[in-house]
């Protein structure tokens, strides 16, 4: 355990002196000693040094963070701390410091754990008597193992000799105490509970500074004493990484009270830096950020994951998605919302569905209620109805609530959303049941819901009105995020099959009668990439279009950005007869052509080893379409910005990075299509028989292309290269 003097400024090492009271050698650093901090203990050693230990609760020495069977401990400094959860809450004891002299006005310390005064606490002793005391915050189930700053004003004890004693004499729930980083200081450091600020809400945003990795704080917005927003945020104590915003435009004209559960008195930015404005910091560089994908959807701010609620209505494709609007990491699950006329160019609308007392808002789907079966339509617009999981227990509002299925609706073409007053519409069934996929089933003239139950089990429900649901069957199938739809085989609309899949994309081909799905064979692999997850297809695309279009979460980290993750490029799904059976193919939607810029073409070109017919092509964003015959070549490669996509002719295998897929030539020929963005390469082979979406950071890679052959000559029958323009500007 180190004991040193820590200066706030002008630190100069002038020597070392022995401190008999503490029995330790102190590094004595002083240019302005009266304004420095004196570190009493930081518990970074293997033992407690000269502190006196009694009982068993303190273990053999300082804990290195979280102990076995304990919730995650956070908020401590360095690696070590006092944590009396040693062998659980049943152990007791005390830990007493050597004597030291009060030389500053305050003693600041980090403390957490049990809130039992006199039993789970830290005391300041003078002449053997308790003159100051502090306890942790927790006395009931739930709670948090986070340590926060507290402070004692000890100015009246200046010059006196004192000791600190850390106490654990409680054996029930929260029968432990956590302490770290005890210092003497002339600056008070404490965490204030439920500090508030008031705003007259006349502008669009409340802006918050974020520091990724900072302690999470719970923030609430109250209108007329009613909590209308609640979220956790890594609010920046200083030097924010980026800013996020809370859109308050719907509350314009009201007074809003913003409350933070824990406020650190020493923050240089933090809660006091929250501003009310019609813009947000960083808006002027929006979509120009270094890692921002240029033709894939990403949220302006915060985390995104699963695609949700994909539905078409009156010329607009609505994309909802799992969204943390307030940070880089997963959390605060809310339905983000974006709209597009072509599934290429997206406009981000305000978040649609926010957490409430039933939980945060997990994944689901949306439909157009053309016949007003739910009776919710109030105007000329058809009602859009969204189904989502209320993830009980996932927010402070919803502690103790189970996972249930809820409904929200819009009567203004998706601009605003109201939650159904009788939610949930499907009560808890088992475990983490979630992710309702709802659609209209023409053959039986009813609504169908597919719901993930638990393990790898799905359930099928029906409803006449979207509000009352009856379970019809269950099936062992796939893990979470179910999807169910019908497709023609080989384009024959009179011969169709149903597809059921889960989050990974694996699928069954089978039959569905409106109540029960019957697989015709085992699970089939859909994709061969490293970033595909939790996809969904659009409901209500007009029959005149006839396509089944899918968009998936691209699990691709965007480090040091104000946003994180992306959505993969939309693909059109079709069913085809193959030697292996009926298989689902995926190809990029035809609207990609709207992004074409420069165009190069090569035809009927023999490529010898060492040749590169693409040497003169430069660019950042590409679409490449190639039809080639390996002929005598052992391998043919398209090298995209230094990343090889290799076809091994002998193995009949396509490989990129560490992913491979079987790929046999058709009439001796391979067809390859590749989309290249800043953070991804998406590969489609033989008209989508192989789909390989890959996350890879290309921003520091050369802006070049190569076509290589090894071991012999290959033939390019036709090769088209397009540079692509950004969808953002």
Q: What is the pLDDT of residue 398?
A: 84
Residue 6 binned pLDDT confidence (cut-offs 50, 70, 90): very low
Last residue of a domain, one of 189, 211, 227: 189
Residue 669's CATH number: 2.60.120.560
Q: Which domain holds residue 437?
A: 286-292+309-588
Residue 324 binned pLDDT confidence (cut-offs 50, 70, 90): very high
Assess whether 580 and 595 both reside in one domain: no
In whole angstroms, give the CA distance from residue 456 to residue 473: 14
Residue 142 binned pLDDT confidence (cut-offs 50, 70, 90): confident
- Residue 224 confidence (pLDDT) above 60: yes
- Residue 567 confidence (pLDDT) above 60: yes
- Residue 8 confidence (pLDDT) above 80: no
Assess whether 632 and 530 both reside in one domain: no
Which tokens belong to 400? 């103790």
- Residue 75 confidence (pLDDT) above 60: yes
Residue 36 binned pLDDT confidence (cut-offs 50, 70, 90): confident
Q: What is the pLDDT of residue 261?
A: 92
pLDDT, mean of residues 247-276: 95
Assess whether 624 and 579 both reside in one domain: no
Assess whether 351 and 474 both reside in one domain: yes
Assess whether 431 and 556 both reside in one domain: yes
Assess whether 527 and 395 both reside in one domain: yes
Q: Check: CB of residue 398 under 8 Å from CB of residue 358.
A: yes
Q: Check: CB of residue 17 under 8 Å from CB of residue 26.
A: yes
Domain membership flag for residue 180: yes
**DSSP assignments along 466-519, one per residue:** SSS-EEEEEEE--SSS-EEEEEEETTEEEEEEEEEE-TT--EEEEEE-SS-EEE
- What count of other Cβ atoms lies within 10 Å of the Cβ of residue 48? 21
pLDDT, mean of residues 240-265: 96
Q: What is the pLDDT of residue 27?
A: 30
Residue 2 binned pLDDT confidence (cut-offs 50, 70, 90): very low
Q: What is the pLDDT of residue 35?
A: 54
Q: What is the pLDDT of residue 380?
A: 96
Q: What is the pLDDT of residue 400?
A: 86
Side-chain-facing half-sphere of 691: CA atoms under 13 Å: 26
Last residue of a domain, one of 553, 588, 623: 588
Assess whether 454 and 354 both reside in one domain: yes
Which tokens belong to 450? 């597919």
Q: What is the pLDDT of residue 23?
A: 30
- Is the sign of the CA dihedral 479, 481, 487, 489 positive or negative? negative
Assess whether 16 and 57 both reside in one domain: yes
pTM summary value: 0.87
What are the residues facing 72 on neighbouring strands? none
Q: What is the pLDDT of residue 167?
A: 98
Q: What is the pLDDT of residue 140?
A: 86
Assess whether 552 and 596 both reside in one domain: no
Q: What is the pLDDT of residue 143?
A: 80
Q: How many residues does this entry show for the chain? A: 729
The span from the first CA to the last CA of the chain, in angstroms, equals: 56
In whole angstroms, give the CA distance from residue 64 to residue 57: 15
Residue 16 binned pLDDT confidence (cut-offs 50, 70, 90): very low
Residue 456's CATH number: 2.115.10.20
Q: What is the pLDDT of residue 393?
A: 87
pLDDT tens figures, 592-628: 999 999 999 999 999 999 999 999 999 999 999 999 9
Give me the percent of the chain exceeding a pLDDT of 70: 95
Q: What is the pLDDT of residue 19?
A: 34
Q: Which of these ranges, 119-123, 144-148, 569-573, 673-677, has the smallest mean pLDDT?
A: 144-148
Domain membership flag for residue 713: yes
| φ/ψ (deg, to 5) at 594 | -70, -15
In whole angstroms, give the CA distance from residue 90 to residue 39: 31
Last residue of a domain, one of 189, 215, 233: 189
pLDDT, mean of residues 35-53: 94
Q: What is the pLDDT of residue 558?
A: 98
Q: What is the pLDDT of residue 193?
A: 87
Active-site positions read 306
Domain membership flag for residue 297: no
Q: What is the pLDDT of residue 657?
A: 98
- Residue 15 confidence (pLDDT) above 70: no
Number of domains in the chain: 4
- Residue 13 confidence (pLDDT) above 60: no
Q: What is the pLDDT of residue 14?
A: 30
Average pLDDT, the chain: 94
Assess whether 276 and 397 both reside in one domain: no
Report which of 33, 179, 1 is spatially closest to residue 98, judged by C-alpha positions: 1
- Residue 177 confidence (pLDDT) above 80: yes
Q: What is the pLDDT of residue 521?
A: 96
Q: What is the pLDDT of residue 11?
A: 30
Assess whether 264 and 319 both reside in one domain: no
Report which of 689, 429, 414 is spatially closest to residue 574, judged by C-alpha positions: 689
Assess whether 485 and 574 both reside in one domain: yes
SS3 readout for 655-693:
EECCEEEECCCECCEEEEEEEECCCEEEEEECCCCEEEE
């Amino acid at each position: 355990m180190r004991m040193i003097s820590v200066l706030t400024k002008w630190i100069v090492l002038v020597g070392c002196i022995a401190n008999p009271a503490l029995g330790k050698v102190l590094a004595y650093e002083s240019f302005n000693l009266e304004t420095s901090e004196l570190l009493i203990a930081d518990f970074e050693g293997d033992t407690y040094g000269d502190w006196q230990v009694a009982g068993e609760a303190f273990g053999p020495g300082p804990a290195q963070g979280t102990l076995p069977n304990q919730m995650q401990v956070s908020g401590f400094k360095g690696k070590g701390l006092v944590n009396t959860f040693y062998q659980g809450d049943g152990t007791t004891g005390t830990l007493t410091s050597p004597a030291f002299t009060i030389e500053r006005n305050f003693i600041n310390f980090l403390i957490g754990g049990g809130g039992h005064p006199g039993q789970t606490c830290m005391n300041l002793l003078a002449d053997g008597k308790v003159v100051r005391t502090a306890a942790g915050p927790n006395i009931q189930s739930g709670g948090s193992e986070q340590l926060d700053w507290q402070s004692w004003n000890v100015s009246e004890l200046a010059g006196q000799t004192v000791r600190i004693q850390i106490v654990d004499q409680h054996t029930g729930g929260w029968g432990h105490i956590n302490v770290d980083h005890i210092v003497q200081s002339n600056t008070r450091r404490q965490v204030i509970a439920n500090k508030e600020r008031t705003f007259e809400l006349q502008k669009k945003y409340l802006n918050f500074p974020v520091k990724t990795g900072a302690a999470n704080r719970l923030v609430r917005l109250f209108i007329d004493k009613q909590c209308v927003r609640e979220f956790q945020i890594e609010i920046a104590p200083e030097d924010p990484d980026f800013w996020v915003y809370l859109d308050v435009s719907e509350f314009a004209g009201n007074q809003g009270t913003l409350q933070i559960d824990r406020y650190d008195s020493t923050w240089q930015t933090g809660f006091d830096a929250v501003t009310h404005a019609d813009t947000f910091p960083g808006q002027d560089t929006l979509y120009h950020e270094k890692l921002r994908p240029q033709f894939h959807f990403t949220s302006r701010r915060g985390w995104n994951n699963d695609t949700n609620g994909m539905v078409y209505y009156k010329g607009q494709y609505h994309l909802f998605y799992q969204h943390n609007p307030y940070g880089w990491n997963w959390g605060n699950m809310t339905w983000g919302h974006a709209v597009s006329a072509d599934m290429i160019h997206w406009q981000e609308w305000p978040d649609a569905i926010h957490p409430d007392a039933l939980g945060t808002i997990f994944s689901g789907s949306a439909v157009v209620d053309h016949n007003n079966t739910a009776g919710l339509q109030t105007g000329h617009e058809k009602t859009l109805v969204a189904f989502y999981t209320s993830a009980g227990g996932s927010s402070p509002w919803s502690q103790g609530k189970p996972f249930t299925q809820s409904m929200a609706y819009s009567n203004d073409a998706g601009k605003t959303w109201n939650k159904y007053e009788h939610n949930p519409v499907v009560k808890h069934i088992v475990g983490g049941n979630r992710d309702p996929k709802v659609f209209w089933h023409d053959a039986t003239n009813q609504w169908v819901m597919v719901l993930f139950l638990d393990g790898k089990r799905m359930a099928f429900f029906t409803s006449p009105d979207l509000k009352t649901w009856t379970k019809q069957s269950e099936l062992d199938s796939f893990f979470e995020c179910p999807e169910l739809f019908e497709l023609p085989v080989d384009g024959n609309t009179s011969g169709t099959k149903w597809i059921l899949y889960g989050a990974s994309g694996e699928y069954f081909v089978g039959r569905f009668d409106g109540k029960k799905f019957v697989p015709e064979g085992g699970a089939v692999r859909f994709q061969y990439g490293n970033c595909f997850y939790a996809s969904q297809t659009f409901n209500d695309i007009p029959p005149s279009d006839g396509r089944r279009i899918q968009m998936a979460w691209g699990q691709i980290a965007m480090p040091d950005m104000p946003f994180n993750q992306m959505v993969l490029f939309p693909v059109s799904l079709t069913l085809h007869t193959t030697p292996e059976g009926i298989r689902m193919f995926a190809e990029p939607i035809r609207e990609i052509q709207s992004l074409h810029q420069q165009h190069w073409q090569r035809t009927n070109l023999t490529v010898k080893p060492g040749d590169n017919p693409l040497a003169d092509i430069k660019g950042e964003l590409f679409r490449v379409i190639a039809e080639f015959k390996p002929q005598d070549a052992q391998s043919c490669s398209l090298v995209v910005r230094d990343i090889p996509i290799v076809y091994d002719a002998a193995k009949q295998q396509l490989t990129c990075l560490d992913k491979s897929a079987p790929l046999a030539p058709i009439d001796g020929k391979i067809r390859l299509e590749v989309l290249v963005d800043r953070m991804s390469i998406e590969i489609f082979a033989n008209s989508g028989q192989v789909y390989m979406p890959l996350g890879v950071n290309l921003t520091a890679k050369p802006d070049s292309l190569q076509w290589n052959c090894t071991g012999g000559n290959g033939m390019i029958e036709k090769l088209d290269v397009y540079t692509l323009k950004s969808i953002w500007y």
